[in-house]
Structure 1
Amino acid sequence: MSAYKRSHNMMIDLTMGHDKISGSKEVSNGTSPNRPNTPKRRRGPIQIKGLPRGLIAVTELSIFKEKKAGSNGFQEIALNIGGCVEIEKGTILEGETKPLTVAYFVRITKILTCHEGQYVVGKLFKRVRHGHGLFDKVPGEVFWLRDKVTVSVKYIVRVRELVLTNHTELTCGGILPRAECATQKTEGWQDGEDSGRLICRRRANLRDNAEDREGSAKHVIGDEGFVRLLEEFEADEAFRYPRKLIKSFWTSEKDEIVAIEKAEIEEKAIDLTIPISEKSKSCSYTSKKTYKRTTISESNTGEKVTSIVRTSKSVKRQNTIASGAPGLREPVNKHQYTFGDFFCGAGGASCGAKIAGLKIAYGVDKWEDALMSYERNYGKSKAIKADICEFAANPFSVSLPASRLYADVIHLSCPCQFYSPVHTVPGKNDEMNEVASLVVDRLLKVVRPRVVTSEQTFGINSARKFKDHFAIVINQYVRNNYSVRWAVKDATEYGAVSARRRLIVIASCPGEPVPNFPPPTSFNPFRMRGGPNSQGLPTTPTIGQVLSTIPANADNHNFRPYPHPKPSPFHLNQPFNKTITCDGGEGKVHPNGKRPFTPRELATFQTFPISYKFSCTSDTSIIKQVGNAWPPKFAGAIYRAIVKHLERLDKEADETEIL
């Protein structure tokens, strides 16, 4: 039966029993001329019936449910505060209109009853296999979806056992017998799904629009959200573990990898990110605190010494005596977290990281022109030419040991052309660009950083055809027990002149909470989606203001006039409200219409410093490098928040050790 006929019959059923059906005048005002009986479209918000009055809170309640088909009688279900119940598919939560498409679970925090009905209030959980591809499909595992829902007891199916833990293992380090929970697809695992123990290790903030299965990730999952491990205070008391202990499990695995590599090669290993000259000798000492990094070094007597240090904190005092040097170098007291840049390009992310106070350890890319630019700004020793995709497929194909790649913070700017909304014609590099988004899993296993950032076009989140790609990207963090947060941000909200909507991902290692996104640092009056400038933020600079800062003799600033003037979409008194792409972007004509913007002007719109050096190649190559880059001011705002986050965590850890 067609949708029209169903609607037509429904209207007839609703009008039956009335003395008079709507007259011809009413029909002509609210219906289509071709379909005279089409019902009127609903106007205004849907009226949702509230809870009945007179509800009383109780601590226990017994309800009786009819047994399954084929069985006679009723079964008693005892409800109590702190217990968990399974609610059936098709449940409509109180205050909502859409039925749930799968079975969910509720950890009860309140029981309400009156003569009109009984309700349970509590936290809502969902199976990870129904988590839109963000999780590995582990039987018996659920994730925490909402803090508070209200459900009528008529939807309750059975009582379940639910354990909340902040441990990274399903068995909580072997405490929970695996046989008692359906965590593996063995014989009879489906029965365990119905009655076995449920484990929750993660909490997620998702739109969870399961009805729109064909929609984009933005509509199904949300353009802003997170998936993170539970905090210690959120876990059940018997299954909560100190944050320091969770991180130590993860750190010990990383230390073992580094120690094995160090033992296999004959070299002096003082810092895992800075190459040491063969002519230098070293001596080191540590503070009285306990640290978890294993480092094998060579003493002055030539013997190998193994020490436990933590290189992410400046607690290891190191004196280096260079050959022929007259004296000792003073140790650096101020700590700098290290930064590694994968798919670094010309170094937009590294530039922002340096602005935020991070110490640049390396940049990796296979694009020679961009790598030359990176080398000119950060040094030849820090520019690594390598194919990250080949490294992910076969780590032994590229000589990049974990000890060389270790950094506190790394950035992954996988090629975004394949996911771009303006990418409408297939390109020769589409397959390779698609594969590039799969390197996250391998890099996390090898590098094991404390924090990871990623910048990608918002198309991967907003286009229907890329929904699974987005889920796979997030899943690579989740399966490695990283907590991950994502949001679509505009560069003009963080000091950039050119518009650039990007999906930003921040992830943190086990045992550390994921950093929050920083608040906007600038206000663009021409893109004020959030309303007026109520916070008094600095206004985004205009094109004229930016151009006035560029000296006439700046590098890469040669004018190339057009034979004939061209129309320009820009005005000197407005910001550069266009996205700079690999070819300069839409309408790259200077406001005077006589010439295109120079590479230096486009780089300045992307917030590269005037002193930033690009490789001595063609203007086309430089513009492509600029268009591919993450605007440094945008990146700098994110990394400043991350540095403050790490400093706060390390300060808390130090204070805990002292106590």
Structure 2
Amino acid sequence: MPGIEVVDLISDDGEGYDEEHDVFGYEPEENETPDQISYIEIQDDEDSLDETPTTPTESFPEEIEVPHIDHHGCGRIKPGDTVEMKNASSDSTLRAGDFLRVEKVIEVLETGEVKLRGYAMRRTKHLAPQFDRHLNELFMNWEVRQNDERRHSDQGLQDLALDHVSRKRECVLTNRPYPSLSFRDIKPEIPTSIRKNEEARDWIYEHGRLVCRYLNKVFVHKGKATYTGEVRSLYEEECDDTKASTSAAGKHHRHSSSVEILDSDPISERPQLPQKSRRYRFGDCFCGAGGASKGASNAGLKVLWGADNDKTVLEAYELNFPDASAIEIDIHELPTYMTRKNFYVDILNLSCPCQFWSGAHTCPGQNDQKNVEALYTVGPAIKILKPRIVSLEQTPGLIRFKKHRLYWRFLIHQLLNEGYNVRYTVENFAEFGLPQRRTRLLLLAAKRGIPLPPFPRPTHGPFGSGLKPLVSIWDALAPIRQLPPGTRDHYHQPWEEKRVNGIPYNPREGPMMKCITASGGPAALYFDGTRRFTPREASCLQGFDLDFYLAGSKTQAMRQVGNAFPPIMAELVLLSAAQTLEAFDHGLIDKEEDILDLYETLTAKGIDLNSSSAASSPSSPFSSENLASSSSSGPSSGENNFRYLNRLRRSIVPKKRLRLFGAVPRIEARPDRRVKKRAAAGFGLFVDGGADDDDGASERRKRIKQDSPATQQKQIEEQFWREYGGKTIELD
């Protein structure tokens, strides 16, 4: 085209966000009220939740595949073609201007109707800034139903009636980086009559090559979003330019700066007797006092360093992890301070401050700007350190509320741009052994060339779920209750807490306590109604052991507890990441394997990991064996040569799930947990042994050898009658 260069002519699609529309709305439902039932029932005969199509019982098929169909407007359409829609389809999520990559042409035998079945695609501008707004760039969109056992690639297919088809378009599916294979590479022949830049851009928009590089997968339940999904580059078997060479994957892995390079098939040449796995390294940005690092240590990771800009929390971190480096640094300075050579880790946690995104944030705060800017440091941090796995915990408001949606998309954008695939979910931590309703957004990102780790499945649930019972406040405070007289703790002095006129409640059953926040929050009322929880009690409710160090004033200590990533949940998430890495490094799984449950994946391949001796449940301080001894600092060696996979076990599919929002879960009474009367002040007693000193602080943090439960209870009751004279309350 005379006088106009195509690469200079066409600018990126840099319009504003006013035209964008979300693939799925993540808005709170208007009918969410505390009166709703607190769990979702899953019947044994309802595995699909009315979403999985049933297998026809007729002898003859209802539909058949045909090789092609002749369309009156755009000619012959066959599998592999891409068509554009001209108007909205009422029976699908497709809309005008969307595209369909045709996989099958289907004829319905009863009616003779012919329809197209394929994968929906949409321009990236509609999900900006998650994807760059480049001209003629698309993303593929799949709806995946929970509890549907079909392959996700089958669930992602959508049907399109022929009367919704506008025309055929040229489209390439690839996982190569932009602008490879786009119209910029091929330099389209623009008609010579077009001379203005805007006209040329419009012509390419309507007639130029389209390119799809990413898949956006969203899990739905009964037609509603579940805040669970996946965003990744297309796999090789999904790409047009690599389908013929997908077998060139590999067992031996060379680590590069952006992708995992593979040499040979990991499955066909799997080592029979793998050497003992190395211990994966862990780094913790925004580490606080070390909730994520504690979980990493319990999972068997080697904690190398923690970074934070708060000097007080780093004092606690240094005491909790004496073998790790405690780095006082503003995260914005990290790229100039850290180098990959000196600070490289396999797994990097980036749980930046969450206050701004929280639903409880109703008025501007003095740290709002800093907290927002912290989210923008995720990209620079992983660009420097290039970990294999990235983990992140955040408040669900980041993904749930429309006002924060662009921030959420930008977070995903940073990870995609650095060569990572992303998986995310929102979970209620009560389903994993935490004695509070703490709903949080979890994210795992894997460098391209490494399979995405699955999220752990629930371990605790309501009565009838088939899981362990929910943990009560009474259970969580057992370590404090069983300490012998004379034990002193600066962060547990209940007699110094301000008296309040609260309503007493049963710590063993009834509504589960709400989320503990940095200030304690409304959930921080002790169960006799006379005071708030002490920082040490709050730390127990967050899943910390008694010997976990806090620092600073009691207000600062409560903030350290409320801001922490609970180690119970951190351990499960990070252990799953380590197990996935170990299975990949030993050639047990492929780089592009879609893994939702690692145990099931390996079992389906006939791989025996001696899992009968494994224990993948978290190192909970609430379990009876941990009340008398410290929790494990990592997995035992077991009977095989794996370091992490020997803790892998079959997970139980729950028959009930707690709701994420709305109704407060209830802990049902059980015969073995019902108590008629109990001494009110006998719960959680500490006896003052004098002024606090170094010896006392050291004694406070050491492990206490426990007597039998009967002896412990007798000591508690005897102490109560001596000190308080026998006041009792009814708990039932």
Whether the 8 Å contact between 1:84 and 1:162 is mirrored in structure 2 is yes
Shift of 1:402: 2.5
The residue that corresponds to 2:561 in the other structure is 626
Q: Distance in 2 between matches of 1:107 and 1:507?
A: 30
**1:58 is aligned to 2:56:** no
Q: Once structures 1 and 2 are overlaid, which stretch shifts more, 551-560 or 371-380?
A: 551-560
* Aligned with residue 365 of structure 2, among 414, 424, 427: 427
Q: Distance in 2 between matches of 1:189 and 1:162?
A: 17
The residue that corresponds to 1:92 in the other structure is 89
Residues 157-207 of structure 1, C-alpha deviation per residue, up to 9 Å, x if partnerless?
Answer: 2222232234445527x999443599xx99834323333332222211137
**1:206 is aligned to 2:218:** yes
Shift of 1:241: 5.4
Shift of 1:91: 2.5
Shift of 1:223: 1.6
Query: Aligned pairs, how many?
Result: 493
Q: Would the alpha carbon gap of residues 548 and 57 (structure 1) be closer, same or farther in structure 2, given more than 3 Å must change?
A: closer
Secondary structure (helix, strand or coil) at the match of 1:158 reads strand
Residues 90-125 of structure 1, C-alpha deviation per residue, up to 9 Å, x if partnerless?
Answer: 2215x34x7715332332322437886432112211
Shift of 1:599: 1.2
Whether the 8 Å contact between 2:284 and 2:305 is mirrored in structure 1 is yes
Q: Would the alpha carbon gap of residues 482 and 338 (structure 1) be closer, same or farther in structure 2, given more than 3 Å must change?
A: same
Whether the 8 Å contact between 1:57 and 1:113 is mirrored in structure 2 is no
The residue that corresponds to 1:109 in the other structure is 104
Q: Distance in 1 between matches of 2:251 and 2:202?
A: 31
Whether the 8 Å contact between 2:504 and 2:529 is mirrored in structure 1 is no
**1:608 is aligned to 2:617:** no
Q: Distance in 2 between matches of 1:431 and 1:655?
A: 42
The residue that corresponds to 1:362 in the other structure is 305
Q: Would the alpha carbon gap of residues 482 and 554 (structure 1) be closer, same or farther in structure 2, given more than 3 Å must change?
A: farther
* Aligned with residue 545 of structure 1, among 449, 462, 475: 475
Opposite residue 68 of structure 2, the aligned amino acid is: E
The residue that corresponds to 2:402 in the other structure is 464
Q: Would the alpha carbon gap of residues 106 and 607 (structure 1) be closer, same or farther in structure 2, given more than 3 Å must change?
A: same
Whether the 8 Å contact between 2:179 and 2:185 is mirrored in structure 1 is no
Secondary structure (helix, strand or coil) at the match of 1:560 reads helix
The residue that corresponds to 1:80 in the other structure is 78
Secondary structure (helix, strand or coil) at the match of 2:526 reads coil
**1:129 is aligned to 2:125:** yes
Q: Distance in 2 between matches of 1:136 and 1:638?
A: 30
Shift of 1:655: 10
The residue that corresponds to 2:424 in the other structure is 486
Residues 359-414 of structure 1, C-alpha deviation per residue, up to 9 Å, x if partnerless?
Answer: 101100001111111100112751011000344xxx33xx2223223111111111
Q: Distance in 1 between matches of 2:464 and 2:252?
A: 41
- What are the within-5 Å matches in structure 2 for residues 318-467 of structure 1? 334-379=277-322, 382-391=325-334, 395-396=335-336, 399-467=337-405
The residue that corresponds to 1:197 in the other structure is 209
Whether the 8 Å contact between 2:304 and 2:323 is mirrored in structure 1 is no
Whether the 8 Å contact between 1:166 and 1:241 is mirrored in structure 2 is no
Q: Distance in 2 between matches of 1:375 and 1:86?
A: 59
Secondary structure (helix, strand or coil) at the match of 1:224 reads strand
**1:138 is aligned to 2:134:** yes
Opposite residue 383 of structure 1, the aligned amino acid is: A
The residue that corresponds to 2:452 in the other structure is 514
Superposition RMSD in Å: 3.6
Unpaired runs of 5+ residues, structure 1, are 1-52, 66-75, 209-218, 256-288, 292-331, 526-531
**1:160 is aligned to 2:98:** no
What's the TM-score, normalizing by structure 2? 0.61
Q: Once structures 1 and 2 are overlaid, which stretch shifts more, 79-88 or 406-415?
A: 79-88
Shift of 1:650: 0.7
Secondary structure (helix, strand or coil) at the match of 1:206 reads strand
The residue that corresponds to 1:41 in the other structure is none
Q: Would the alpha carbon gap of residues 107 and 434 (structure 1) be closer, same or farther in structure 2, given more than 3 Å must change?
A: same
Opposite residue 77 of structure 2, the aligned amino acid is: L
Q: Distance in 2 between matches of 1:374 and 1:457?
A: 23
Opposite residue 541 of structure 2, the aligned amino acid is: F
Whether the 8 Å contact between 2:288 and 2:560 is mirrored in structure 1 is yes
Shift of 1:498: 2.3
**1:641 is aligned to 2:576:** yes
Identity of matched residues, %:
30
Whether the 8 Å contact between 1:167 and 1:246 is mirrored in structure 2 is no
Q: Distance in 1 between matches of 2:257 and 2:183?
A: 20
Opposite residue 547 of structure 1, the aligned amino acid is: L
Opposite residue 417 of structure 1, the aligned amino acid is: Q
Unpaired runs of 5+ residues, structure 2, are 1-60, 143-155, 191-196, 265-274, 592-732
Higher RCO structure, 1 or 2 (CA under 8 Å, sep 6+): 2
Q: Once structures 1 and 2 are overlaid, which stretch shifts more, 436-445 or 571-580?
A: 571-580
Opposite residue 652 of structure 1, the aligned amino acid is: G
Q: Would the alpha carbon gap of residues 103 and 589 (structure 1) be closer, same or farther in structure 2, given more than 3 Å must change?
A: closer
Q: Distance in 2 between matches of 1:611 and 1:637?
A: 21
Opposite residue 100 of structure 2, the aligned amino acid is: F
Q: Would the alpha carbon gap of residues 242 and 371 (structure 1) be closer, same or farther in structure 2, given more than 3 Å must change?
A: farther
Whether the 8 Å contact between 1:460 and 1:467 is mirrored in structure 2 is yes
